[in-house]
Structure 1
């Protein structure tokens, strides 16, 4: 009897331990299954949202010329490295790029903190709060002479400076050619995005020429060689107004009336700039732009307007328009005492370009010359950026560069002129040498905020900007 009771007790203990073993085994099995499920989900996420190899990095392959594709493919390795940055699954619907020419890191530091009083003129710039910062290399010093127009084309087309095609006296190759490099502005248009370009200088400057995919070095007809004119070459002004890229722009605002029309109003507050090109072939490209839009409106209803005064721009119900052309000065905007502010031009441009369900690319250029009040100009930019509502769908980039080309001549840049006169540069008092060194162009600072801004970090080639913007917009929600 005792033995039977003992046996029952042993069996109960064994059964209890078996149950414990079963519970432990079940827990382990469940843990393994959950771990495998998490690994599977993570792998799928990384496949969908991360970049594993060159083939996974998208850009508008079918929208660029074959010779241009070579350099985009070469730039993928650098882009791959940047895309390994902290995870940001969302891609932007819109991109705003602010290019500030005439300012570098030394200027920014000086204007934040002054030697006399740390509280005096201490400006908290909005871009200082941007989460990401990169430096774009300045390869201009490796070229002699460094042609200004080619610098802009390298930046906005993604082709290295020494590979940018040179303009030829005979334009037949460019007119009939199919391998002309496309700027990111044109790539965005081909992908169905709305586009805009705003500048405080003339629209026919090096930035406008590069973005507009023009193939000329001449802003208007006045200085073009006779042989080039006879061969069918067109100047930058005519190409911007009649070319496919310029015609497709939803917004273009800046100066340069004297390049677009032969007869322009001359007032004491807006004189003709005699250092710049003046058209003399009897043209009126402003009228041509209006007539061109009238013809387009007969095929597809569009609303457009041409504005040439600040009060016209202020009163404009911009959100109701599809296309706006604003020519606000005969030369650069600084030549017109009544020119609109950068803030007004940008705010109206955003109203025009922003439409429900459609993304956009807006590029804004601010030219700050050495004789201008830099702190005042930077405060204007700061006010402009603050006035724009932070949009979770928008990537905002601010580029600061002092690689400024103040001369209207397109022969050589300020940088190569400095390098060509190194003996004179380092011959003088210590203060003079420091001032000359301060004027030498340096790398471009790139501040980034918004979706995919994390890829803009580290030291990159100047071609990286075009490659990265092309990538993020090609993968944006505009393209599903």
Structure 2
């Protein structure tokens, strides 16, 4: 029988071991809890920041052939690259839009891949093919009668549907009454505090320009009814100079000198385009623009310039200018072989627009006319985009449209009508069949990357572009 002393020693030993057991168990429990918390936080971080490694995904590596595995591995590498892209600001600081007119989805498919026999590795995508989001804009013009090109531009850049009839739009906008003037995406950008610019290889008084800073179907005074002029109505060229949107543009570049000035230089490389409007009221709007900015500089110090030749633009230190106007042809830039390239105009425009604390909005219009080498034009545009410095705080859009707006009927679209008569077309030459197919009005495509690019998805109306941009611009300072 153990003595009382022995019993006390046994009790002390058991109590000591029990304490150690509880300490060890507690330590293990805390370790498990900490581990679970860490795993949870890590998983949440990977989901929220999209950094999970998809290379760990089992895709039947042991069951596919060696040739198939090569392409599966390549696809997994591309997915990993997509998931590694960092998250930028919620809303963009800048908006950069390239509008490409004269090509459709069929052209992109045809010219995207060079013909390299037996070497699929030679396929090359356009830069916009790598953009994270894409949407289709319906060609409502093929269902409306009548359908004017100006209405399409208004739908894209002001958000007003093609089927909405606007009273008083048949003539023009009166400068003294701006209450009914439309707020285009450019004006909304200006009201949001962004620096703005419009660059085109067409005329700055064309349908796109009219939708951005005017409300008239007349590019200049020549074809405007006398009664409208006597009422004080203004053509697009004069609206550019006197309207609030036009006056606030930091950059405006393109052609259309014969609409802005009544007396223009006529050279063998830059003829007056007799098919276009030609001002005859003695105006010199380029001089008026300069005088306007000179008066402005007396109130607020600004630096501005008007350039009309490529060498003038090349030598310009654009970063030091607040306002820049460039007019390089009497008509479209394609009519002047000495006009600057789109790449040069975009490069100089961005130098004017970029400021450390201020965002910018730049719309670039590139028109590929019938007869031009579409592949070469798309490659030049792709090069222009490739030369731009990537900015994570910039929403970049590439809008591609074939710019074909035929006179339709209300009960059938051009596309439906063409397809229903394909059997008849097969009796024609292949070249004629291809011409008919290329002339079908196709949907426009919008490629998007950058903050809020996820807004652009699915099939939408033309007006969706303006409405989406209005939302982005209203919150651009929150990025």
TM-score interval for Structure 1 and Structure 2 normalised by the shorter chain: 0.7 to 0.9
Q: Kindly state the Cα deviation for residue 40 of structure 1 after the two structures are TM-superposed.
A: 12
Q: Kindly state the Cα deviation for residue 279 of structure 1 after the two structures are TM-superposed.
A: 1.1
Aligned-partner Cα distance in 2 for 1:279–1:87: 51
Q: Is contact 1:169–1:228 with CA below 8 Å preserved after alignment? A: no
Aligned-partner Cα distance in 2 for 1:309–1:36: 63
Aligned-partner Cα distance in 1 for 2:206–2:344: 21
- Does structure 1 residue 130 correspond to structure 2 residue 131? yes
Equivalence for 1:394? 394
Q: Is contact 1:415–1:441 with CA below 8 Å preserved after alignment? A: no
Aligned-partner Cα distance in 1 for 2:361–2:265: 32
SS in 2 for 1:163: coil
Aligned-partner Cα distance in 2 for 1:118–1:323: 52
Equivalence for 2:92? 92
Equivalence for 2:414? 419
- The match for 1:15 among 19, 22, 26 is 19
Equivalence for 1:74? none
Equivalence for 2:59? none
Aligned-partner Cα distance in 2 for 1:254–1:108: 25
Q: Is contact 2:142–2:406 with CA below 8 Å preserved after alignment? A: no
Q: Kindly state the Cα deviation for residue 87 of structure 1 after the two structures are TM-superposed.
A: 6.4
Q: Kindly state the Cα deviation for residue 380 of structure 1 after the two structures are TM-superposed.
A: 1.6
Taking structure 2 as the reference length, the TM-score comes to 0.79
RMSD (Å) for aligned C-alpha atoms? 3.5
Q: Is contact 2:173–2:181 with CA below 8 Å preserved after alignment? A: no
Moved more, 8-17 or 127-136: 8-17
Q: Is contact 1:425–1:436 with CA below 8 Å preserved after alignment? A: no
Note the 1:301-380 alignment, pairs <5 A: 301-380=301-380
SS in 1 for 2:196: strand
Aligned-partner Cα distance in 2 for 1:277–1:31: 76
SS in 2 for 1:161: coil
- Does structure 1 residue 269 correspond to structure 2 residue 261? no
Q: Is contact 2:171–2:216 with CA below 8 Å preserved after alignment? A: no
Aligned-partner Cα distance in 2 for 1:185–1:104: 25
Mark the CA change 1:242 to 1:88 in structure 2 (over 3 Å): closer, same or farther.
Answer: same
Cα deviation, 1:47-90, whole Å, max 9, x if unaligned, reads xxxxxxxxxxxxxxxxxxxxxxxxxxxxxxxxxxxxxxx96544
Note the 1:36-115 alignment, pairs <5 A: 88-113=88-113
Aligned-partner Cα distance in 1 for 2:184–2:119: 43
Q: Is contact 1:425–1:433 with CA below 8 Å preserved after alignment? A: no
Aligned-partner Cα distance in 2 for 1:315–1:373: 30
Equivalence for 1:151? 152
SS in 2 for 1:326: strand
Q: Kindly state the Cα deviation for residue 177 of structure 1 after the two structures are TM-superposed.
A: 5.1
Q: Kindly state the Cα deviation for residue 282 of structure 1 after the two structures are TM-superposed.
A: 1.5
SS in 2 for 1:436: helix
Q: Is contact 1:144–1:416 with CA below 8 Å preserved after alignment? A: yes
Moved more, 92-101 or 387-396: 387-396
Mark the CA change 1:122 to 1:6 in structure 2 (over 3 Å): closer, same or farther.
Answer: closer
Q: Kindly state the Cα deviation for residue 151 of structure 1 after the two structures are TM-superposed.
A: 0.8
SS in 2 for 1:351: helix
Note the 1:111-260 alignment, pairs <5 A: 111-113=111-113, 117=117, 124-163=125-164, 165=166, 167-169=168-170, 176=177, 178-212=179-213, 214-260=214-260
Equivalence for 1:80? none
Q: Is contact 2:134–2:446 with CA below 8 Å preserved after alignment? A: yes
Aligned-partner Cα distance in 2 for 1:369–1:37: 56
Mark the CA change 1:29 to 1:109 in structure 2 (over 3 Å): closer, same or farther.
Answer: closer
Q: Is contact 2:205–2:256 with CA below 8 Å preserved after alignment? A: yes
Equivalence for 2:79? none
Aligned-partner Cα distance in 2 for 1:17–1:395: 61
Q: Which has the larger radius of gyration?
A: 2
Moved more, 174-183 or 21-30: 21-30
SS in 2 for 1:446: strand
SS in 2 for 1:337: coil
Aligned-partner Cα distance in 1 for 2:470–2:218: 28
Equivalence for 1:77? none
Aligned-partner Cα distance in 2 for 1:33–1:119: 50
Q: Kindly state the Cα deviation for residue 210 of structure 1 after the two structures are TM-superposed.
A: 0.8
Equivalence for 2:83? none
Q: Kindly state the Cα deviation for residue 100 of structure 1 after the two structures are TM-superposed.
A: 0.3
Aligned-partner Cα distance in 2 for 1:384–1:223: 36
Provide structure 2 residue ranges, at least 5 long, that are not aligned to the other structure: 50-85
Q: Is contact 1:111–1:122 with CA below 8 Å preserved after alignment? A: no
Mark the CA change 1:181 to 1:27 in structure 2 (over 3 Å): closer, same or farther.
Answer: farther
Moved more, 423-432 or 113-122: 113-122
SS in 1 for 2:408: helix
Q: Kindly state the Cα deviation for residue 20 of structure 1 after the two structures are TM-superposed.
A: 4.9
Q: Is contact 1:174–1:180 with CA below 8 Å preserved after alignment? A: no
Q: Kindly state the Cα deviation for residue 164 of structure 1 after the two structures are TM-superposed.
A: 6.7
Aligned-partner Cα distance in 1 for 2:331–2:172: 27
Paired residues in the alignment total: 429
Taking structure 1 as the reference length, the TM-score comes to 0.79
SS in 1 for 2:233: coil
Aligned-partner Cα distance in 1 for 2:301–2:335: 36
Mark the CA change 1:122 to 1:259 in structure 2 (over 3 Å): closer, same or farther.
Answer: farther
Aligned-partner Cα distance in 2 for 1:139–1:107: 20
Mark the CA change 1:106 to 1:265 in structure 2 (over 3 Å): closer, same or farther.
Answer: same
Q: Is contact 1:321–1:352 with CA below 8 Å preserved after alignment? A: yes
Equivalence for 2:71? none
